[in-house]
Every structure is written in structure tokens, then in C-alpha cells.
Amino acid sequence: MRLLLVLILLCGTAFAGEVLIKASPVSEFKTTGKNVHEGDEVSFKTDSGIITGEITHYEPNGFFGKNAEITIGNFRTQDGKNLKGEMYLTGGQHKVLQEYMDSPVDVLQGYGGVIRGSEVILEPGDVIEFFTEE
């Protein structure tokens, strides 16, 4: 009995169930341009309805192949229920140019520096999976 009590105290919410959410953006979302800011809201369609999340972290793409990155969290349902969980999204790799960004010789010669990283692009129909706690 003591062991069970100690495990509950030590683990806290470790026994809480996680729920897989499959979400698709309601409208196209891109990190291109200067239109993305921390605090902006993004809406997603799920099997249960529409959820809205807030951009909690944003880093634009840059030179040397640095991809754009965003974190979306603080989700809530249409009826105001808060959901715990976050989405981490990053731009993809340049398929053809990645070998130049990875080559130390090209980086030292400056060729890799002129290659910009990719943007995060989400379109309706794209499915993003993340977990929330019950």
C-alpha cells in the first residue's frame, strides 16, 4: 500500500491518458512574408470539430539552410475547453540543394550561406498529429 502511494506521489500525472488528435488546417497557412507573429491564432479541423491554437514560438527561415520553425499550443475547442499539447512544425529540406548545405567545403567557400531554409506551409487536407492529455 505504501509503495502504491509513493508511486502516485512521485509520478503525479504520469498515469494521465494521452489522446491522439489528427488536425487539418481550416485554411492555408504559410510562414512566408512578415505576416506570422507569436500570439496569432490558427484554426484546425478535427473529427470532433474545430480547434484553435496560438503560435507560441516562431523563428523565420534564414541563410545557411535554416528552416522556419513554429510551435502552436494553447489549444481550445469551439465550446471553450482548453486542450494541453503542442504542435512543432518546421520547414522541409531542399531536396536538390541539401548536399551543398551539408558540405563543409561549400560552407567554407560561402556557397551554403546563400541558400535559405524552407518555410512552414500547411494546406487544408494536410494532417498533423499531436497528443493532448485527457
Contact in structure between 40 and 33 (CB atoms under 8 Å): no
The answer to whether position 98 is within a domain reads no
Does any domain span residue 12? no
pLDDT digits (tens, 9 = 90+) for 47-58: 989 999 999 999
Q: Is 38 part of any domain?
A: yes
pLDDT at position 74: 93
Specify the pTM.
0.71
Measuring CA to CA, which residue among 81, 86, 70, 78 is closest to residue 18? Answer: 86
Q: Assess if residue 71 is contained within a domain.
A: yes
Q: Which domain holds residue 121?
A: 17-91+117-133
Tens-place pLDDT, residues 55-114: 999 998 887 778 889 999 999 999 989 988 898 988 876 555 555 555 555 555 555 556
Does 27 have pLDDT greater than 90?
Answer: yes
Question: How many structural domains does the chain have?
Answer: 1
Going from the C-alpha of 131 to that of each of 3, 85, 101, the distances in angstroms are 29, 6, 33
In a domain, 84, yes or no: yes
Cα(36)–Cα(104) distance, integer angstroms: 32
**72 within a domain of the structure (yes/no):** yes
Query: Is 5 among the domain residues?
Result: no
Residue 11 is assigned to a structural domain of this protein: no
